[in-house]
A and B are shown apart, each in its own frame.
Chain A
C-alpha cells in the first residue's frame, strides 16, 4: 500500500508569530463612526421625546381627555373632539384602504401580465404615487371630493383623502407580502385541482396576512400624523362636539396641536405638548399591533 504525502506548494517562510499588522485601529475607527451615527439619530429622538413629555407633563391629566378644546381656558381645555375625530377618520380610512389595497395587490401580483405595457405603467405609477407630497392630496380632496362630489368638509371627505394618500403604500406592502408566498405553494394547490381563486383565497392570502397587515398599519400610522391635507380640507380647530357619523364635521389631533401652538398665550404650550404625547401613544399602540401581528403570524417555509 502506498502513501501519498501531500506537500504544500507555498514556501515555508519561517514566520513564527500569528500577530497581525496595523488593521485593528482602522477597524475600531470605522466601528466608532457607525456607532456615533446611530447615536446621533437615537439621541435626537430621545431629546425630542423627553422635551415633549417634560413640557406636556403639567397638562397630562384627565381634563385633556375629558374636555373639549377651548381658546379661552387653556388651563382646563382638552382635546377630546380631536382624539375622537382622529379615531373616526383613521378607522374609516382603514375600512376604505385595506380592502381596495389588498384587492389591487392581488390583481397586480396574481392576474396582471407583467409583459403588457399597461401593467408596467400602472406598476411604475403606483410607486410614484407613494411619493407624492400629502398637500397635493389635500388639494385634490378639497377640489374633487369635498366640492366636486359635494361631500363637504366631513369625516368621510377626510377619510377618502387620506385613503388616496396611503393606498399606494398599502398596495406596495400587499404586493410584497403576496410575492413572498413561494410559488411552490401555488403550484401545489393548483396541481390538486384547485381554481386560481381557491388558491389565492385559501393559500396565498392567509400566508400574506401578516405582511399586509403590518404594511397597512404602518401606512395608516403615517396617515394619522398628517396635518397638511386635512388643514386644506377644513378640519376645524376648536369644535366642541365629537363626530357622530361619517358626515359630521371634525378635527384631528395634528390639526388641533397646530392650532394650540398658534395661540399666543403661554399656557397653550403644555397643552400642545400633552396632545402630542397622546398622538404618540396612539401611534405607538398601532405600531405595537403591527409588530405583534408580524411576530404572531410569521411563517417559515
Chain B
C-alpha cells in the first residue's frame, strides 16, 4: 500500500503531491521521496527501531551528507534521538532494542555481523544532552579516548589539539590538572566535544547538546559546530528550531503518528535543505511545527 502510494506520488508533480498529502486522511500518508545528497556518509533505508515489541520509529529513509551539519528536529517522542543512536550503535546498549532495515556507513553495512560496535563508536563520536565529563582532570578527560584506543605517545599534543579544536584551550591551558567538574556547564560541554574529537572520528553525533546550557554557552557551541563542520560530518538532534535553522545545511523533520491501536510511532516526515524546510516545507505537518502550531 505504502509502496504503491509512494510510486504514485513520485510520478506526480510536487505541487500535486503536496495537495494529495493534504487531502489524504489517515495515519500513514507517504511523505515525499527523501532527497539524495552529494557524497553521503550514511544512508538509512527503511530503518525501524523496536524496544521489545514496541516500534519506536518506523521506516526511516535518510541520507547524511559528508562534512555538513544535518539537523534532526521534531516534537518530543518522535524518535529523533533514537534514530541518532542508530548511527553509532548506542542502541545496542539498551536491553531489548532492535534495529531493522539498513544503515550504511561509506557503503558498509553498520549492522553486519562482522562489524565491531567499539570500532564504530571510535569512528563515530557522540556528544550527549547533559555534559558528562568524567570525574577526572581536564587532561585525563581528553586523553581518555586516545588511551583506551591504545595511544600512548604524543598525548600532550593530542590533548592540546583537541582542546584548541573545541575552542577551550585558552580557558584551560593553565589548569589542565584541575577537575573537569569545576568547569562551567558550557565549558564542560565543550570539553565533551574536545574529548570526542581527540579520538579523531569522522562523524560527531550531538544529542541536544545545548539543551542544558544558557544562551551564551549555546552560541559558543553553535560557532564551534560551524568550525567543526569543516572537518567532521555532524548530525545534531535539537528541540530548538532556531538552532537547526542557524547551524544546519539539511534538516530532517520527525513526528509521531498514532496508529489504529493508539500506539505512537515516530516517523520521518520530510527531509530537505534547511532553507527549504523553513521557508517552504512541502508537508503541512512540518509547516505547522515550524510555525509553532504544534509540538
| Distance between B193 CB and nearest chain A CB, rounded to angstroms | 12
Residues of A within 8 A of B121 (CB): 190-193
A207 interface neighbour in B132, B135, B145, Cβ under 8 Å: B135
Is B88 part of the contact surface with A, judged by Cβ < 8 Å? yes
B181 and A193 within 8 A (CB)? no
Is B113 part of the contact surface with A, judged by Cβ < 8 Å? no
A188-B128 contact, Cβ under 8 Å, with A115-B96, A203-B134: yes
Residues of A within 8 A of B128 (CB): 184, 187-188, 191
Chain A 104-121: CB-based contact to B (< 8 A → 1; otherwise 0): 000000000111000000
| Distance between A134 CB and nearest chain B CB, rounded to angstroms | 37
B148 and A194 within 8 A (CB)? yes
A299 and B88 within 8 A (CB)? no
Residues of B within 8 A of A188 (CB): 128, 132-134, 192, 195
A193 and B195 within 8 A (CB)? no
Residues of A within 8 A of B132 (CB): 182, 184-185, 187-188
A192-B122 contact, Cβ under 8 Å, with A184-B130, A187-B132, A202-B148: yes
B90 and A195 within 8 A (CB)? no
Residues of A within 8 A of B192 (CB): 188
Is B232 part of the contact surface with A, judged by Cβ < 8 Å? no
Complex Cα–Cα for A185 and B135 (A): 9
Complex Cα–Cα for A182 and B181 (A): 14
| Distance between A200 CB and nearest chain B CB, rounded to angstroms | 12
B93 and A198 within 8 A (CB)? no
B93 and A187 within 8 A (CB)? yes
Complex Cα–Cα for A191 and B197 (A): 12
Is B274 part of the contact surface with A, judged by Cβ < 8 Å? no
Complex Cα–Cα for A300 and B180 (A): 12
Q: Total contacts A to B, CB within 8 angstroms?
A: 69
Residues of B within 8 A of A76 (CB): none
Is A189 part of the contact surface with B, judged by Cβ < 8 Å? yes
Chain A 169-212: CB-based contact to B (< 8 A → 1; otherwise 0): 00000000000001011011111111100100011000100000
Is B111 part of the contact surface with A, judged by Cβ < 8 Å? no
Interface residues of B in 117-141 (CB under 8 A from A): 118-119, 121-123, 125-126, 128, 130, 132-135
Is B254 part of the contact surface with A, judged by Cβ < 8 Å? no
| Distance between B126 CB and nearest chain A CB, rounded to angstroms | 4
| Distance between B82 CB and nearest chain A CB, rounded to angstroms | 14
A192-B125 contact, Cβ under 8 Å, with A300-B181, A301-B135: yes
Interface size class of B (residues with CB under 8 A): 20 to 34
Please, which residue of chain B has its CB at the minimum distance from the CB of A195?
Answer: B118
Residues of B within 8 A of A207 (CB): 135
Is B172 part of the contact surface with A, judged by Cβ < 8 Å? no
Complex Cα–Cα for A174 and B149 (A): 28
Residues of B within 8 A of A203 (CB): 134
Is B144 part of the contact surface with A, judged by Cβ < 8 Å? yes
A190-B90 contact, Cβ under 8 Å, with A300-B181, A301-B135: yes
B195 and A192 within 8 A (CB)? yes
Is B196 part of the contact surface with A, judged by Cβ < 8 Å? yes
Interface residues of B in 190-247 (CB under 8 A from A): 192, 195-196, 199
Complex Cα–Cα for A274 and B122 (A): 63
Complex Cα–Cα for A115 and B95 (A): 9
Please, which residue of chain B has its CB at the minimum distance from the CB of A299?
Answer: B135
A193 and B135 within 8 A (CB)? no
| Distance between A82 CB and nearest chain B CB, rounded to angstroms | 43
| Distance between B93 CB and nearest chain A CB, rounded to angstroms | 7
| Distance between A194 CB and nearest chain B CB, rounded to angstroms | 4
Chain A 28-72: CB-based contact to B (< 8 A → 1; otherwise 0): 000000000000000000000000000000000000000000000
| Distance between B122 CB and nearest chain A CB, rounded to angstroms | 3
Please, which residue of chain A has its CB at the minimum distance from the CB of B192?
Answer: A188
A192 and B95 within 8 A (CB)? no
Chain A 222-240: CB-based contact to B (< 8 A → 1; otherwise 0): 0000000000000000000
Complex Cα–Cα for A188 and B121 (A): 11
Complex Cα–Cα for A15 and B139 (A): 65
| Distance between B70 CB and nearest chain A CB, rounded to angstroms | 18
B93 and A195 within 8 A (CB)? no
Complex Cα–Cα for A188 and B118 (A): 13
Of A115, A182, A189, which is in contact with the most chain B CB atoms at under 10 Å from its CB?
A: A189
A189-B93 contact, Cβ under 8 Å, with A184-B128, A300-B181: no
Complex Cα–Cα for A207 and B130 (A): 19
- Interface pairs (27), CB distance under 8 Å: A113-B95, A114-B95, A115-B96, A182-B132, A185-B132, A185-B134, A185-B135, A187-B93, A187-B126, A188-B133, A188-B192, A188-B195, A189-B144, A191-B88, A191-B128, A191-B196, A192-B145, A192-B148, A192-B196, A192-B199, A193-B123, A193-B148, A194-B144, A194-B145, A195-B118, A195-B148, A300-B181
Residues in chain A within 8 A of chain B (CB atoms): 113-115, 182, 184-185, 187-195, 198, 202-203, 207, 299-301
Residues in chain B within 8 A of chain A (CB atoms): 88, 90, 93, 95-96, 118-119, 121-123, 125-126, 128, 130, 132-135, 144-145, 148-149, 181, 192, 195-196, 199
- CB-based closest 10 A-B pairs: A193-B122, A192-B145, A184-B132, A191-B126, A194-B148, A188-B132, A193-B121, A198-B148, A299-B135, A193-B149
Q: A187-B132, A193-B199, A202-B144 known; 8 other A-B pairs, CB under 8 Å? A: A187-B90, A188-B128, A189-B134, A192-B125, A193-B123, A198-B148, A203-B134, A299-B135
